[in-house]
Structure formats: structure tokens, C-alpha cells
Amino acid sequence: MKKIIVVMLIALIALTPVFAKGDNKKSSKATDVRTYEKTKIAVVYSTFTDLLGSQFKGSLESLSTYFNVEFVFVETGFNTEEAMAKTDAMFQMDLDGVIFVTPNVANLDAASKKKIPLIALNEPVDEETANQLEGYSNYLGGVVNDDYAVGCSAAEALYNAGCKNICISYLTPGLSKNHQDRYEGFKAVLANHPDMNVLSEYSSRAQWPAAVNTFAAAFPEMDGLFSTAFSEPGYTAIRKNGLIGKIKLATVDISESTPDYLDNGVICSIAGGQYNKIMLAFAALYNYIYDGTRILDSLGGYCYTPFLQITSSKDYKVYEKYVASGTGLWVYTPEVIESLIMGKNPDMTPEKFAKFAKSYSVAQVMSLRTSN
Amino acid sequence: MNILEQKAKRKETLMDILPFAGLVLITVFFIIVTKGRILRIDNLANIVTSAFTIILVSCGAVFVYAHGGMDFSIGSTSGLAQFICIYMVMRLGFPLPIGILASVVVSVVACSTVGLSSILLNIHPFVASLCVKNITAGLLSLLTQKVGGQITLDYVRFKGFNSVGLKAVVLIVMIALGFYVFEKTKVGKIQKAISGNERTVTQAGINVKKYKLSAYMIMGFCVGIAAFFQMTRIGTVSSSSGSGLEFDIMIAMVLGGFPISGGSAAKFKQFILGGITMTILTNGLTMWGMDVSFVSFVKGLMFILIVSVSYDRSVMKQVSIIKL
Amino acid sequence: MQKLKKFLYNAMMTLILPVAIISIFGIASHGRTLNWRMIYVTFQQSIVTAILSMAVVGHLTLGFWDFSAGGCVIASAIIGGNLMKMTNTGVFGIILFCVLMGVALSSLTGFLYNKLKVPLLVLTIGLIFIYETLPRIFFVDGVIIRGKFSVLAFAPWNFVVLGVMAVLLHVIHNHTAYGHNIKAMGGSSTIAKAAGLNNDKIVQLNFSIAGLFLGVASAMYLSESGQILNVAPLDSAGLVFSGLMAYFLSHFLARYCPLCIGLIIGAFTMTFLSNGFVALGLPATLQAMTTGIFLLVLLAYSANEARFLKWREDKKRAKELNATLEGGGKA
């Protein structure tokens, strides 16, 4: 029996590559691949299983046929040692570029040894890292969201909604600069409103429902909740604790229950849809791969793109159709991305690139889709 | 030699060879699927660098696992040690040797706490180490929050500590030292004897508690040194630093064929072999370029396959993980 | 009368721990946590932990630890939830498919353990990778259930499920041959085998029963969360640790109350500890540290209580003997 199990295991391992090809179901129509040379780009993120990660993966895969790019997705997890081992191994794969969500200096150093250009999706975690990254010529900068601004607007929204007793739920510091910036932006605005009182803060590894449950139990006077991110379990916890109609929620990340909680008045501010930034990062990276253009250099190294804000379930339907790949389409089509490549579009300039990124909105996505 | 002795000898030789066979098998497999890229000099250097931490910690962990103990707090202990070291060097301006010493002291204290809990308080080491893990992880999280979430190292200043040459030298020295102490001195031999029959060892006049504690302290020393090198390799320390290291050690132990209950069949080389096997597995799977959804699946399958084939069942005794 | 006295004493000793925790936090928070709402919400929050601890009872009795239990929960929830949506079977479908998946995966663990003859700790380190990735291969986006399908998360259904599982555990472990057999095996598998027990069969049954509880836990977890995503490697390993902690606490209460009650009290106490810190405005990290210290102290006492009592007894006896000697040699 043991031998049978061993043979079955060997067979399973041997057969896995047959099923393990990347999923390109959502790629656009094939184009003449002779237009673009075959390139290989690695994408590094902690996990591609969450909503953001899966959107990142899907939107890039939609570009692979058009640009003749083989994407290699490297999931680093939260084991720091294994993450380094995986990224070191990844740099041995004859890559033409890397999109790294939050690179550290060690990653840049390893990439520079192989002369692989690297672009980020976040600003450096601190000043020390930023100073060190400047020394690497293969670092192309980053396409980033203004998380700090989102935190600020969340605080203003709660204030304008008349909330006085606030609870804050945020990701454990050190795990994500995005969440840290949102938290800091929120606290900065809070300091300007002394009549807003912070009852409690709860940092965790994305335990949003646990935070809601505890706040609901211990702080019946809570009338406002800020969470640096939110998801379905959090909404279930709000409903379970009878908080609908009692609190206002300001948060980031749009999900399936968002329209319901917009309609019932719980959500006073929600931002999300940050799926475009990886496509813009690809465009910036591909500018370099195509003809060495460092499109972000004259922008100070970083290009900012806003979150989408939705305010009603009607907004959500449009958002879902055009942004959240509800109809199998991704934020930008390959043609739109191609128009951002200076080598392909002589009219494109770094300033226009930045302007395009900054004007990200549902309306922009709709108009681009219609014109295509 | 009679027939039974010959059979036993053949079996022992086979059990010795099997983990090596497993290593050779997966190496050949990955040479084929990566079209030889895994053998590039750069990648071999990566393998040495990646295996460094696991093997270094294994040099100490072997003493603990040989007497049937275990420690699930290694990862968070390493993270805490990294933080203490980087904080002392980067923020307080202490010289580097003091930072390394602090890292070692913190690790030894944490590992000794697990040891003392199990030795003096009769708490099973698995349970005691889970409690200590909570404590050290909580402390690390608290301290990193105080400094804004993470501390970044001056990477260029400490780049020399990442060189393959230095790591190879450190590894050779630690492996040689560990091998000698474990296989040739009474410190190591007594660990194996304790697992065999603790009562007999006690009645032979050996201070079992002292040797058990010394095993945890040796492991703590190795974790402290490894923490320093981890810190210089990654360049930042945050609340997730060191996480998962305890699983890496267990996987290395299993892949090398080290008996989980320790005992006379425990050999130093098994941990080293397991560490190398695990590193090649991670390295090879990444270089293979397999769809990310399947990587862990294949890793798990390969792990079970290697264990099914190479694990020595004759020395396996009923291992009670939890004795309350 | 004696029986009543004993019952009241046992009830008092059972509740002393949670009451002490509630009181300490109540005083420290100036009364903020001293309300029924806090207790009620905490109790609801602890239900999944309690059921998880019930799932690991069999394993711990036999001296095993199953690392893949967390992966089993995640896989059962995602696959079970999606099967419910595909078959449109509602809440009944959630329970049915989650339990079926839980039993199937856990039984597979037991089957491989029996056949491959490698230590469970070793086997389940490999299996956790497989169970975590299995749902990802078929359901990349995890599972979302909305509205009426999450009814199990709400009162009174969550309490009903807890009650049913607690009774089931009590019956299985105390009134079936299986329950007696695993206690025998947990004492010594060699003697159990010599006494005629089929160890492999008992182990397989243990895993299947554990799978039942894991399946129910996954159904509850899915209902409470509404959405479960696929996890990063080894992320699920810690899912069942909370159940393990609750088990240790229940062991401390074992002489005063049935195991199922002890597990529920243990889960509640752990959860209240966590919530209490947040209510005090202290960082959640302090809660992790305090839980570790708290458990260490509790387990140290539990493991050494007999020694302490013997020491006390010896001291008392020595005192009596000394008094006798001084008084002229009459014992």
C-alpha cells in the first residue's frame, strides 16, 4: 500500500506541470507578436490570493499576449527568510524586468548584480531605505497611491458625518507601508479636530471582524470607525453587532457588500480600485525595456495615482463593470498601455504619463473603453 | 557477522544513503526542469546564502531535537534578537560586536526559558515553546511599533557580511564545531541517550537537567548568530522578521531523515542534509517558473514523497507530543 | 445534599477562572467591560475556537498534533461554500459540504498516517501545503457567501450548533467504545494493542471524528466571515492554536466539569483576555504576551500541582512527627 501511495505521489508531481500553466483566459486578442520581442518580467508580492493580488495578476496576464511578455509571479508569503530565498532564485531566471510591490535594499542589490530594472508599487518604507535606493541605477522608481491622502479624507468624512467617538482598526505596523500611511494620514487630520475622541485602537494582522466585535462590546458609545482596510467579514461583524444605523465607517477596499452598506448609510467614505497602478507600473517598466526610457525620472522617481471613491450603489455598479473586471475586462486595455510607451507613441511625455495616472477615475476608464 | 547482523548493517547503510538519494533525486529533477540554470555559479552562491540560516540554526537545534525536545519559538526569538541588534547598532550607536552579543544573549535567554519550563516545570517543550513564542512575538511587535513599524539597516555598511565567502567560512566552522561536539563529545552523546531512556541516564549519575538546558542554550547561541546574519541579509527588521523559521527547521529535520524523537539514530549530518535539500526545493520550485498556485502543492507532495521513502521507521517510537 | 454541595463546589471552581478574568478587566477598565453585552459578544466570538478545540481533543488524547487541521478548515470552508453555491442548497448545503470536506480531508490524513507510518507531525507539515493549495486550484477567488446564508453566525443558531457539538463530544468521548479506546491508547498504545485494540482503526476513526468537528468549525467560520480567501503558505498553521490553548485551559478545569464545558470556558476565557486588552486601550501585542505568560503560569501550576500538594503534605506530616517527638514519642 505504501508503494502505491509513493507511486501516486510521483505521478501527481509529474502531472502537475500539465495543469500549472499560467491562466491567460482574460488576455486580449492576439496581436502580431513580431511587434514586440519576447520578454520575461517577474512580479513579486506577498500573496496573490487576496483580492488585490488576484487583480494584479489578472490585469497583467491580460497584457501578456499583446506585449509578448511572460510574467512570472513570485509569491513571497510572510516568511522573510523564504521571501529572500525566492527572490534570489527569481533573479536567476534571465529576467528583463521586475515589478516589486515593496522592494528593500537587499532586493535592489540582488537585481543590480544582474542589471535587471526594478519598479516598485510603493514608496520606500522609510527615509533610510529611500536614501539607499537612490544609489541603484536599476531602480526605476514607483507608481504609488496616495495612501496618506486617503487616510486624511477618511478622517474628514467621519468629522463631516458628525462622529465624535472614534475607534481605529489598522494593520500591524511594519507589514505594509500603505496601511501605515493611511493610519498616519488619519491621525494627522484627527489632531486638527480636538472634539473627535479616539476611544480605542486595534492593530492586528487584518482581523477586521475581531476589531468590530471588540469595539462593539466595549465601546457602545462608538459612532465612527476607521479601518485601514475592510472586507466581507468586517461587514458581517457590523451587521451581527447591530451597528447598522449606529456608526459611520470610513475605510479602504471596495468589496461585494460595499453597495449595501453605502445604501444603508454605514459607509461615509470608501476608497479602492487601486488595480490600475500595476498596469501603469508595467507601462513605466516597459518604457525602459523597450528603449531605455526612464519615464519616471523627471517626475522625481514616483508617479501618483489616486484611489477611486464611490458614494452609492449606482457608482458601485459602474465600478464593478469597468474597474473590478466584472465583465472580464481589466482597467486598461493593452492599446491604452501601448499609448503610454514613448517609443511607440512619440506624443507621450513623462508629464502626460503623470497626468494620465493622476486623472484615474471611473469616468476615465469608461471613456477609454468607449473610445476603444 | 551472522545473517541478522549483515541484514542490520545493510539496512543501516540504506537508511544512511536514502536522504542523500532524496537530495540527488530532486537536484537532478530541477537541473532538468530549469534547463541547468540551477547549477549556475550565481545560483549556487544563492543556495549557500539561503541555506546558511537554516544550517546554522540546525547546528544548535540538533542538540535539542536529539533528546526529544523541540522549540516552536525560534522564529520569533530570531526576530526579537534581530531587532535588539539593529536597534543597538543603528539607533543607539553601539559597536557591532555589542549588537551581536546582545542578539546572542536574547536568543539564549528565550531558548533557555523554553528549556527551563520543560525541565523544571514539567511542561512539554511543544507547549512551553508556543507560550514563549507568544511572548517573544508580542514583544517584537510592541518594540517595532514604538519605532514606526520597522528599522532599516545601512545595507552598504554591512554588505561584507553577505559575502558568500564569509558565510561559507562561518558555516564550515560551525558545522565542524557542531559535528565534533555532537558526535564526539559527551554533550552530544548524552542528548541521544536521554531520548533513549532518561531514567537510565539519570541513574547512571548524569545530571540530565543540566544537559537538556545546555542543549537549549547551544541552540540559542546558534539562533543569535543566525539572527545577525539574517538581519544583514534582509536589511530591515519588522514585526514579521524571523517568522516561519521554526517550520523551516522542522522541514529540514524531516527531509534529512532525523528522527523526531531523537535517540541513537540521530545524526548531525541529517540536519545539514535536510537544510540543503529544503533550500534546493525552494530554489528549484521558484526557478521552475511554475504557476504560483501550484508551487506549495508540489512542495507538499515532494515533501511527503521524500519522507515516505527516506524516513527510518525502525527507530520510530510512539511520540507523544502533548503529555499533560 | 452532599451531591448538591459537590455540584455547587464544582460549578464554582469551573467558573472561578472566567469570573476572575472578567473581574480583573472590569476593575482595570473602571467598569467598561463589566456588562452583559461584553460577555455575550465575547461568548459568540469564542464559539469557533471552542469547536476547534473539540476537534483537537482526540488528537491530544492520543498525543498527536496535526498541523494540517488549519488547512483542512480553510479548504473545507472554501470548497464546501462553493459547492453550496453551485448546488444552491443554502445553509443546509454549507453544513453538508463543509462537513463532508472536513471528514474527507481529515480521514485522508489518518489514512496516510496509518499507511506511511511516519510521525504525524512530519506528515502534516507536508499535508498543510497541500490542503492550503487545494482550494486555490479549483477556486482561485476563495468563497463569498452573503446575507441569509450566513445565518449560522447569528443567535440562536450559533449557540444551537455549539450546544449540539458539545453534547456530541461528550457522548463520543464518554459513552462510546471509541472514547474509552482512545483514552486507553493515549495512556499506552503498546498496552492497548496487547489488550486487543486495533490501533490503526482507532486512529482512523479519531481522524474522521476530528474531521466532523473541523467541518462544522469551517461552516461556522465561513458563516461568521462571509468571505474566505485562499491563504499564503503556512498561514493556516496558527488557526488551530487558539483551540489548543483552550484545550490546555480545559485540562486545568478537568476535575470540576465535563470536558466539553471546560473547552467552552477555556475558549471564552482566551477570547475575553484578548478583548479586555483592547477595551483597556492597550496594544493587541500586549495581549499576545500576556496570553503566553498566563498559559505558562497556568500550565506550570497544573503540571506541578501534585508535587506541590505532596510537598505540603510532607511538610504537614513532618510537623506532626516533630510535635510528637517533642511531646514524648507518642504518634
Q: How far, in Å, CA of C101 to CA of C70, rounded?
A: 13
Scan residues 304-323 of B and list those with Cβ closer than 8 Å to C: 304, 307-308, 311, 313, 316, 318-323
C3, C39, C45: which is closest to C21 by C-alpha?
Answer: C39
Cα-based distances in Å from B61 to A146, A274, B69: 45, 45, 9
Interface of C with B in 120-179 (CB under 8 A): 120-123, 125-130, 132-134, 136-137, 140
**pLDDT at residue A27, rounded to an integer:** 41
Sign of CA dihedral C172, C175, C176, C181: positive
Q: Using a CB–CB cutoff of 8 Å, tell me whether C204 touches chain B.
A: no
Rounded to the nearest 10 degrees, what angle do helices A80-90 and A105-113 cross at? Answer: 20
- A135 CB neighbours in chain B (<8 A) are 156
> CB-based contact (8 Å) between A165 and chain C?
no
Are residues A99 and A282 in contact, defined by beta-carbon separation less than 8 angstroms? Answer: yes
Adjacent-strand bridge partners of A202:
A169
Contact between chains at B308 and C234 (C-beta distance less than 8 A)? no
Cell of C312: 505540603
Query: What does the pLDDT profile of chain A (372 residues) look like in tens digits?
Result: 666 677 677 777 766 665 654 443 444 444 444 478 899 999 999 888 888 888 899 999 999 999 999 999 998 887 888 888 899 989 988 899 999 998 989 999 999 999 999 999 998 888 889 999 988 999 999 999 999 999 999 999 999 999 999 999 999 887 888 999 999 999 999 999 999 999 999 888 878 888 999 899 889 899 999 999 998 899 999 998 999 999 999 999 998 889 999 999 999 999 999 989 999 999 999 999 999 999 999 888 999 999 998 888 888 888 888 887 656 678 899 999 999 999 999 999 999 999 999 999 888 888 887 765
Please give the torsion angle defined by the CA atoms of residues C93, C97, C99 and C104, in that order, rounded to the nearest 10 degrees. Answer: 170
Residues contacting B201, CB < 8 A, separation 6+: B190, B193, B194, B208
Hey, which chains touch C, using 3+ CB pairs under 8 Å? A, B
Q: Which of residues 234-293 of B touch C (CB under 8 A)?
A: 244, 247, 250-251, 254, 260-261, 293
| Site of grid cell 451531591 | C3
Report the distance separating Cα B295 and Cα B283, nearest Å: 11
Under an 8 A CB cutoff, do B155 and A105 touch?
Answer: yes
Model pLDDT for residues A343-353, shown as the tens digit of each residue: 999 999 999 99
The closest alpha carbon to C71, from C103, C105, C100, C110, belongs to: C105
C-beta atoms of C118 and B308 within 8 A: yes
Spatial distance between the Cα atoms of A166 and A155, rounded to a whole number of angstroms: 10
CA distance C45 to chain B (A): 20
Q: Which of residues 160-199 of C touch A (CB under 8 A)?
A: none
Nearest CB to B319 within list C119, C128, C237: C119
From chain C, pick out residues whose CB is under 8 angstroms from the CB of B135: 288-289, 292-293, 296
Which candidate, C50, C51, C48, C106, places its Cα nearest to that of C76? C106
C-beta of residue C79 within 8 angstroms of C-beta of residue C134: yes
Identify the DSSP state of A306. Answer: P
Q: How far is CA B71 from CA A297, B50, B75, B223, B229, in A?
A: 49, 21, 9, 12, 20
Angle between the B208-234 and B186-196 helix axes, to the nearest 10 degrees? 110
Q: Quick one: pLDDT at residue A318?
A: 85
- A294, A323 in Cβ contact below 8 A? no
Report the residue of chain C nearest A46, measured CA to CA. Answer: C232
* Stretch (H or E) spanning B236: strand B236-238
Is C30 near chain A, with CB under 8 Å? no
Chains touching B (3+ CB pairs < 8 Å): A, C
Strand partners, A39: A69
CA atoms within 13 A on the CB side of C280: 19
Chain A residues closer than 8 Å to B155 by CB: 105-106, 109, 132
* DSSP for C281-324, written as a single string: T--HHHHHHHHHHHHHHHHHHHHHHHHHHHHHHHHHHHHHHHHH
CA distance linking residue B171 with residue C201, whole number of Å: 46
Question: How confident is the prediction along chain B (324 residues), in pLDDT tens digits per residue?
Answer: 678 788 778 777 777 777 788 788 889 999 998 888 889 998 999 899 999 999 999 999 999 999 989 899 999 999 999 999 999 999 999 999 999 999 999 999 999 999 999 999 888 888 899 899 989 999 998 899 888 888 998 888 888 898 899 999 999 999 999 999 999 999 999 999 998 888 889 999 999 999 999 999 999 999 999 999 999 999 899 988 998 899 889 888 888 888 877 888 888 998 899 999 989 988 888 888 777 777 788 888 888 887 787 776 665 554 454 443
Which positions in chain C touch B145 (Cβ < 8 Å)?
Answer: 283, 285
Please name every residue paired with B264 in a beta bridge, in sequence order, or none if there are none: none
Contact A81 B154 (CB under 8 A): no
Q: Which of C:209-268 have CB within 8 Å of A?
A: 224-227, 229-235
Chain C nearest C-alpha distance from B165 (Å): 32
Say if the Cβ atoms of C296 and B142 lie within 8 Å: no
* Pairing state between β A118-120 and C143-144: unpaired
Chain C residues with beta carbon closer than 8 angstroms to that of B299 = 129, 233
Chain C closest-CA separation from residue A190 CA (Å): 17
What pLDDT is attached to residue C310?
87
Q: Which residues of B285-304 are buried (b: 16+ CB within 10 A; e: fewer)?
A: bbbbbbbbbbbbbbbbbbbb
To the nearest whole Å, the CA of C147 is away from the closest chain A CA by 9
**What per-residue confidence (pLDDT) applies to A206?**
79
C295 with B324: Cβ contact below 8 A = no
Contacts of A2 in chain C (CB under 8 A): 115-117
- Contacts with C10 (C-beta within 8 Å, 6 or more apart), sequence order: C256, C257
- Give the minimum alpha-carbon distance from A356 to chain C in angstroms, rounded to a whole number: 30
Residue A333 Cα distances to A97, A142, A282, A308, A326, angstroms? 21, 21, 13, 18, 15
What digits encode the pLDDT tens for the residues C48-75?
999 999 999 999 888 888 889 999 999 9
In the three-class reduction of DSSP (H, G, I as helix; E, B as strand; rest coil), residue A201 is classed as strand
Give the DSSP H/E element, type plus range, for residue A198.
strand A197-204
C226 vs A257: CB contact, 8 Å cut-off? yes
- Cα separation, B217 vs C142, in Å, equals 44
The distance of Cα C113 from the centroid of its chain, to the nearest Å, equals 22
ipTM of this predicted structure: 0.85
Residues linked to residue A204 through DSSP beta bridges, in sequence order: A171
Predicted confidence at residue C193, as pLDDT, reads: 82
C133 contacts on B by Cβ (under 8 Å)? 293-297, 300
Which DSSP helix (H) or strand (E) runs through A41?
Answer: strand A39-45
Residues B117, C293: Cα–Cα separation, whole Å: 11
Q: Which residue has the cell 485602537?
A: A201
Interchain pair B134, C288: CB under 8 A: yes
* Distance of residue B299 Cα from the nearest chain A Cα, in angstroms: 9
Residue C91 near chain A (CB below 8 Å): no
To the nearest whole angstrom, how far is the Cα of C292 from the nearest Cα of chain B? Answer: 4
Is B159:B153 a contact under the CB 8 Å cutoff?
no
Quickly count: other Cβ atoms within 10 Å of residue B167's Cβ.
21
d(CA B248, CA B83): 20
Q: Do C122 and B307 touch (CB under 8 A)?
A: yes
CA C101 – CA C241 distance, rounded (Å): 21
- Contact yes or no for B282 and A13 at CB 8 A: no
**Residues in C touching A75 (Cβ below 8 Å):** 232-233
Q: Which residues of chain C have pLDDT under 70?
A: 284, 328-331
Angstrom distance (rounded) from CA C47 to CA C107: 24
Distances (CA, A) of A133 to A103, A120, A148, A301, B158: 9, 11, 21, 11, 15
Contacts of A79 in chain C (CB under 8 A): 233-234
Pairing of strands A308-309, B236-238: unpaired
Cα dihedral A35→A38→A42→A43 (10° resolution): 30
CA–CA separation, A276 vs B159, rounded Å?
36
What is the model's pLDDT at position B313?
66
In chain C, residues with a C-beta closer than 8 Å to the C-beta of A256 are: 144, 146, 227
End-to-end CA distance of chain A: 60
> How far is Cα C168 from Cα C163, in angstroms, rounded to an integer?
8
Spatial CA neighbour of B194 closest among B125, B259, B263, B126: B263
Q: Are B78 and B110 in contact (CB under 8 A)?
A: no
Contacts of C112 in chain A (CB under 8 A): 5
A204 three-class SS: strand
User: Does the distance separating the beta carbons of C279 and A217 come in below 8 Å?
Assistant: yes
